[in-house]
Amino acid sequence: FFSRQSAPPVRFCRAAVLCLSQESARMANLTPSQTEALNMFREVTAGAREDEAAVQILTSCGWNVEQALQLHWAAGDDHSVPAAAAASSSGALGAPLLRGGGSSDEARGSAGSGSSSSTARDAVTAAAASSSGPVRSLVAWITSGLRRIGATFFSIISTFIFGPGGPRIGGGTTSGAAFSGALAASYGANLQLPRFFEGSFTQALQTAQRELKLLVVFLHSEHARDAQSFCTNVLGNDIVKTMLDEGFVLWGGDIARMEAHHVSQMIHARQYPCFCVLLPASVDEIRVIGAVQGDVQVDATIALLVGCSEEMDSHRSEIVARSAQHVEDRYLREEQDREYQQALEMDKKRQEERAEQERVERETQREAEELRKKEEEEFARFEADRISLDTELKRQAAALGVPGAEATVCIALRLPAGQRAQRKFRPTAPLSEVYVWASCVGYLSENEGRGLEIPKRFMLKTSFPCRDLTEMESTIDDLKLAGSQLVLAEIEDES
């Protein structure tokens, strides 16, 4: 195009600047869902493309992340991370990957070494590009544009052939048998693969923890350069297959699927295929104790599995002891809960007994109070009757007065206590007058101070012969009571 000494035409440079400005404006106008899709594309591709290129390929695929990833891997990328195989197995079984429900941001933070090295390479590349002058930048811009045009064309062809979702391995299921069948269909029907776990990644973790085994995660990408070699030479190896079937729980997934993508983020996968060994130390703690990625050989894989198995044997007793401690703690908590419940029941029973005793005491007190009130009312009524009777008897005594000259008949009266009293009456006086005198004899002036007590109910009788005097209208002469001695007899209550 141009020599190093010459400058590109001004109109052509303005067009380049205008295009870059449009790309920046497009980045600033992304919706939240588009920004999320862009971030996911960056994580899966490890930042292999620039932001403008990533937005371009996502836009051409209608912001379908899976289709954009397939288009990216099919088109190839000059900035992809070189293949590397790395295995790590420290004496502490690696740093915890998840602890207490840690977020993906913490997981990404623990992978700082890989990110810093990539940033350094980008800085060196940028410095070299700036020193080569505007002509080289223009050539790079034209190459990037041609690549975008080719990616758009491939996206249209892929959508036309495979549909909006693009080709996916394993169909619509996540079972281990379907995944193994898809690998065999892609790399040979006679391919003998290890037994993959039937279920989700979470279920595989629970199974490995329950069986005290290590969990091996195999992340596959059909667009990776070493995918076929790994499946046929490594997974198809008899030694690797036997070791995985007998001593590990093997879970596999295609990173084009969301679950496998999340797993790749969690274990910080940078290349595919990715073969990682995890230790589910507890319910909320998972450790990565070894991994190989990219161009992986059989010897490296066997060495990784053997090393992890030896370390697992040394730490299995720790896991068993921790499980036994958990069981003992659970039994202790249950025993404490039972004792607490028994204490609560005893307290409740004592409270009920105390409440019953208080109720009985209140009832007894209420009955005693009612009896006291009743006795007081009866006593008050008795006193009122006595006072009323005394008043009436005093009135009757005052009405009798002193016997007149006509009173010539003397009648004597003997009381129940042996006391005696006498009074003169008229011969024509009725018997009722004698009864009135007998009832108020104690209130007469001549008997004051003698303490005569007269019953409330009484009857007069003759002493000899004994005869009851009940004819109230009969006179003293009629009853022949002159000079006689009468007896006052108390009438007992029938009750």
Tell me the mean pLDDT in the region 299-318: 85
pLDDT at 3: 41
Q: Is the CB of residue 219 less than 8 Å from the CB of residue 261?
A: no
Q: Is the pLDDT confidence value at 82 over 60?
A: no
Q: Is the CB of residue 155 less than 8 Å from the CB of residue 60?
A: yes
DSSP 394-425: HHHHHHH-S--TT--EEEEEE-TTS-EEEEEE
Q: Is the CB of residue 454 less than 8 Å from the CB of residue 442?
A: yes
pLDDT at 33: 86
pLDDT confidence bin for 129, thresholds 50/70/90: very low
Query: What one-character DSSP code corresponds to residue 430?
Result: B
| The residue type at 243 | M
Higher pLDDT, 160 or 126: 160
Tell me the mean pLDDT in the region 471-495: 83
Higher pLDDT, 248 or 16: 248
- Give me the sign of the Cα torsion angle 112, 118, 122, 124: positive
Q: Is the pLDDT confidence value at 106 over 90?
A: no
CA dihedral 3, 4, 10, 12 (to 10 degrees): 60
Q: Which of 116-130, 257-271, 367-381, 382-396 has the highest mean pLDDT?
A: 367-381
As a whole number of angstroms, the distance between CA 98 and CA 119 comes to 26
Name 37's Cβ contacts closer than 8 Å, sequence gap at least 6. 58, 63, 65, 68
pLDDT at 302: 93
As a whole number of angstroms, the distance between CA 109 and CA 112 comes to 6
Tell me the mean pLDDT in the region 82-90: 36
**Tokens for 457?**
């109910």
Angle at 220 between CA 219 and CA 224, to 5 degrees: 130
Q: Is the pLDDT confidence value at 141 over 90?
A: no
Q: Report the chain's mean pLDDT, rounded to a whole number.
A: 76
As a whole number of angstroms, the distance between CA 214 and CA 231 comes to 21
pLDDT confidence bin for 57, thresholds 50/70/90: confident
Report pTM: 0.41
As a whole number of angstroms, the distance between CA 252 and CA 162 comes to 24
DSSP, collapsed to helix, strand or coil, labels residue 86 as coil
pLDDT confidence bin for 118, thresholds 50/70/90: very low
- Between 42-46, 146-150, 315-319, 447-451, the lowest mean confidence (pLDDT) is in 146-150
pLDDT at 160: 53
Closest C-alpha to 278, from 220, 227, 226, 202:
202
Q: Is the CB of residue 305 less than 8 Å from the CB of residue 240?
A: yes
**Tokens for 197?**
């776990």
